[in-house]
Structure 1
């Protein structure tokens, strides 16, 4: 377990411990809780825990369950109070926090049912106020919270204390912020199904806990975490009130820490150990901060930007500017598969072989064209042997009404053609019957899953045809971890990894493109990438072709690589951008309104084009050539 460098700075007003991965951070917190439980048990005392829901604490609960099963951790003397619950919300609904807590923790440990307390989302509205007051009194009657576990929302909420909450607020009924509702839509399928209100412990209730641990994982939490830890105390960011608590700790992974000053701009904090990557980041930051192209930066700019130490290390601004500018310039190439018959010493890709076998992994059936459609078209146009492997079926991202519409079409076609009409009529009736009684969030029947998968498969095949990819070069892997019919997926397994191994061995690519976007709302991109990494690790040393294989990571519709990270930037002309848009349009089930749009209201093609144009604009601001758009990649050296 590696804890990345921790140092108190004048910027951070809360102690922050950064772990390399969220799993390591979760294990650390679970062991802290376990130590508290055992210490109090040794004294014959009970432990009173405040618990959170959402994705952040899941890893903590998993480790606590393991400690119970394998190391004898008992919850007999543990009393729990949950932070919140949607209102109204029956406890047996899949989206309820009662269901969540039992699924993730309570059903797997020996906690006494009478010691579990979760806000009641079924109460009549006229009873809510008295119930909330009684909830706070019950916490006090139990001796108060020994430790409160918290996540943080993108609005800065803790519990459901949205912006505007007072630092002294008690447990109460609240309105949910629109951004919180958008984020919750992944569990409710559509935003209109998300409750507009919730019961929540107040900030004042939380602040009475003797210890508080705030968890934050992933890039999506980086900005709000920075505001919480380094910003002013304000009800605009309710989590910032934790700065007033004497025993609050913040535990994050390296991605959530990206916006902290000591990580993002360490030269503003103190002395740096300068390497090429940090020098490049600092010069780009200075150029954008001063609003001057890199080659126009002066010694005075470096001094004014707190980078005089860099001049001591690297010499004058003139030579430093040229070095960084040339490095960025060399990332730009119109030949993503390598330029034949050219000196490739300063190019991101090799010239040989002139015609490469290219394998593009796409987590969902549209990530390829959304994320790197321009590059895909360029690779095909330049004569490379392009293969596309869709890692999951993407079936849960199809609306039920679309499944019904295609079932109707299949029945009508069967009747018109007279082929299999009786069987089709039976299956059509099964689909109609299931969809008519389907509960919110319920797992789709196998037949409905198949129909939705076929919809996504047909769309992906059409997009590949449009891009010129041969039909024999298109693969639908349907990795098992994804096939649950629900948002919740199974853990990555051996069968998933073997699927990737098989394709790699079959194609033996010179180039691999894979999604390196860790901000995917459901984490599917990360699981798919983990499978690729595991497969490559297994093959390394066994397959000689891997010695001359490059792995390029792209990002999806959610964000782009920062300029300091980019190792290959492929310019996209206006005409190519239009072709890319047409390829994205082939995915009609995701057009206009997707099932899981994330926190961005724009359509996928709009996000993609805006992102590509923003990358090109950033290169232009740094003083490089001006292009219509750019797709960006980072090379992973395995």
Structure 2
């Protein structure tokens, strides 16, 4: 992937006219989290040196986990002590017991408190077990406890898609205090994966108020990933509004937004840096500027004029690379050259302006699919095209996908096995016993609890059978279908184990066995529970191990995106057009994944079925090419090359 690495120091400097909150942007969440942890550690040490306490406001969710991991490391390896630290957590679901999988008490213990020397008496987390009639008085007491320690020295925050901080949903006021609130529908949808279904998410939560948060002496708002980019833009550059509670932070005298590049992508200084200051006009940035200009003035590329550029903040681009005619022709040709009906390369032709090599004419292709349906959802048309054009196509399913199957499907399959034995006169006692065991385990499982190992296995077999059916429909032979069942995933929980050496070695061994000329991998980092990100990391680590092998010099890596998001047009380096017939065949391949049909267990923010999302996204990409003046297609699947 000709992926530009963003220099954090370049992005963490002066405020600009668009940003109403100071912002620091880092290359990735690891570096950003380490910086936040270092500030917390510095504050703890400073207060220790003065003989005082350090009062911290803490957050939960995926955003601060790496901050807590770094604080634990500082405690173990550098002697950072938490004996004089007082903590107050932002929120807790209500009602919920402390030992529930989704409890923030459990979260904080697992990620931080169990690994440091903080006294239990210094820890304060809202109580999700209180009788309803006691909650109001408890909230007042929570406020008084914070005040008794002199207020919060530092409050760390994540941000929800609704712009909520803590559980202060849209409608919260800037003066609101700790209270019981009703969760917004979007927040419940986002939490559904943690609770194994939206119906299991508590309706309410106890949260610090916006006013409580605003009284902290220092606030750090953190956000990672492209899924947070649009709400970060509103929080940082938008007008203060109770509709987006995070915008109230603009009124705080000592606040900082800490982002990775993906979360900051829609900020003007990153998305349109030419509007803020002089910028380095890389080839990708020039494409981005021209495509942005086309949308702004509603013209195709070849109709843009010098005045269009000058009137819309792009005079510097024309001055350095113009006139407009020259820029237009060059960008038009660059985008035209991304389009190919031959994703494996067109044999025996000049490939100097094609995204893929002509030779070898028949390639070994390895497609990695994080879940058992990402291959057909994300690049099903290209997969079909590669097979039909005679390439040796392998598909590797990295995880079992076993948490994303409804319990009803398990009972239905177990019942089938039992009836099958009876129908053919086989000894059926074992099948009956299995059926009764499965039904009992599912019936006795509480909302949001982990499945038994037997149920997990059946769910995994359901997903495996569906993947095989889709591959058979496309025409792939059985020996080209690989189920990796990477160990990091097999917890039975949404929360996974850290990526380990065993996971990476599984990828290394498969790549070594196939020795592919092409690898396709999911570059979509917006999936709700992060599996795509971990699976991609495993592939990147494997490529780093293998890159010195002589046969790897012939292996190109292409990244696709999934059901959640598509590459922006300026990022696309291979665009594969699909005919109406191919789009229909892709849809039918997706339909083979029946457990994900109608209503997937973890739909994320989009309630539509996966095939609907995929078709809309592919058609939208084709429309964008058409709008720019390029050929009009029914649909397009898009890819970006990764250079290892």
TM > 0.5 fold call: yes
Higher alpha-carbon deviation: 87-96 or 559-568: 87-96
Q: Which residue of 1 aligns with 2:441?
A: 434
**Which of the numbers 604, 609, 620 marks the counterpart of 1:614?**
620
Deviations 1:215-250 (A, max 9, x none): 101111111111111111111111111111111111
**Which of the numbers 85, 93, 104 marks the counterpart of 2:92?**
85
Measure, in 2, the Cα distance between the counterparts of 1:436 and 1:154: 34
Listed as ranges, the matches of 1:116-265 within 5 Å are: 116-265=123-272
CA RMSD of aligned residues (A): 1.2
TM norm structure 2: 0.97
Measure, in 2, the Cα distance between the counterparts of 1:63 and 1:419: 58
Contact 1:2 1:24 in 2 (8 A): no
Contact 1:169 1:203 in 2 (8 A): yes
Structure 1 SS opposite 2:338: coil
Contact 1:479 1:496 in 2 (8 A): yes
Q: Which residue of 2 aligns with 1:591?
A: 597
Measure, in 2, the Cα distance between the counterparts of 1:61 and 1:512: 35
- Structure 2 residue 396 is matched with structure 1 residue 389: yes
Deviations 1:3-55 (A, max 9, x none): 34123211111111111110111111111111111111122111111111111
Listed as ranges, the matches of 1:213-612 within 5 Å are: 213-419=220-426, 421-541=428-548, 543-612=549-618
Measure, in 1, the Cα distance between the counterparts of 2:36 and 2:282: 33
Deviations 1:434-476 (A, max 9, x none): 1121123322222111111110110000000000111111100
Measure, in 2, the Cα distance between the counterparts of 1:534 and 1:121: 41
Q: 1:540 to 1:244 in 2, by over 3 A?
A: same
- 1:420 Cα offset (Å): 5.4
**Which of the numbers 9, 21, 35 marks the counterpart of 1:28?**
35
Measure, in 2, the Cα distance between the counterparts of 1:420 and 1:633: 52
Higher alpha-carbon deviation: 432-441 or 318-327: 432-441
Deviations 1:38-87 (A, max 9, x none): 11112211111111111111111111111122222221111111111112
- 1:422 Cα offset (Å): 2.9
Contact 2:188 2:198 in 1 (8 A): yes
Higher alpha-carbon deviation: 283-292 or 122-131: 122-131
- 1:506 Cα offset (Å): 1.0
Measure, in 1, the Cα distance between the counterparts of 2:9 and 2:370: 30
Q: How many residues align?
A: 637
- 1:538 Cα offset (Å): 0.6
Deviations 1:410-446 (A, max 9, x none): 1222233344523333333322221121123322222
Structure 1 SS opposite 2:156: strand
Measure, in 1, the Cα distance between the counterparts of 2:485 and 2:283: 41
Q: Which residue of 2 aligns with 1:18?
A: 25
Stretches of structure 2 that go unaligned for 5 or more consecutive residues are 1-5
Contact 1:13 1:243 in 2 (8 A): yes
Measure, in 1, the Cα distance between the counterparts of 2:479 and 2:120: 57
Measure, in 2, the Cα distance between the counterparts of 1:374 and 1:547: 27
Structure 2 SS opposite 1:633: strand
Measure, in 1, the Cα distance between the counterparts of 2:143 and 2:271: 40
Higher alpha-carbon deviation: 423-432 or 226-235: 423-432
- Structure 2 residue 8 is matched with structure 1 residue 3: yes
Q: 1:48 to 1:420 in 2, by over 3 A?
A: farther
Structure 2 SS opposite 1:571: strand
Contact 2:560 2:640 in 1 (8 A): yes
Q: 1:280 to 1:317 in 2, by over 3 A?
A: same
Contact 1:463 1:587 in 2 (8 A): yes
Deviations 1:562-597 (A, max 9, x none): 000000000011111000000000000000011111
**Which of the numbers 606, 612, 630 marks the counterpart of 1:624?**
630
Q: Which residue of 1 aligns with 2:3?
A: none
Contact 2:143 2:178 in 1 (8 A): yes
Contact 1:459 1:588 in 2 (8 A): yes
Measure, in 2, the Cα distance between the counterparts of 1:492 and 1:419: 43
Higher alpha-carbon deviation: 213-222 or 120-129: 120-129
- 1:2 Cα offset (Å): 6.5
Stretches of structure 1 that go unaligned for 5 or more consecutive residues are none
Contact 1:369 1:376 in 2 (8 A): yes
Contact 1:404 1:431 in 2 (8 A): yes
Higher alpha-carbon deviation: 560-569 or 113-122: 113-122
- 1:174 Cα offset (Å): 1.3
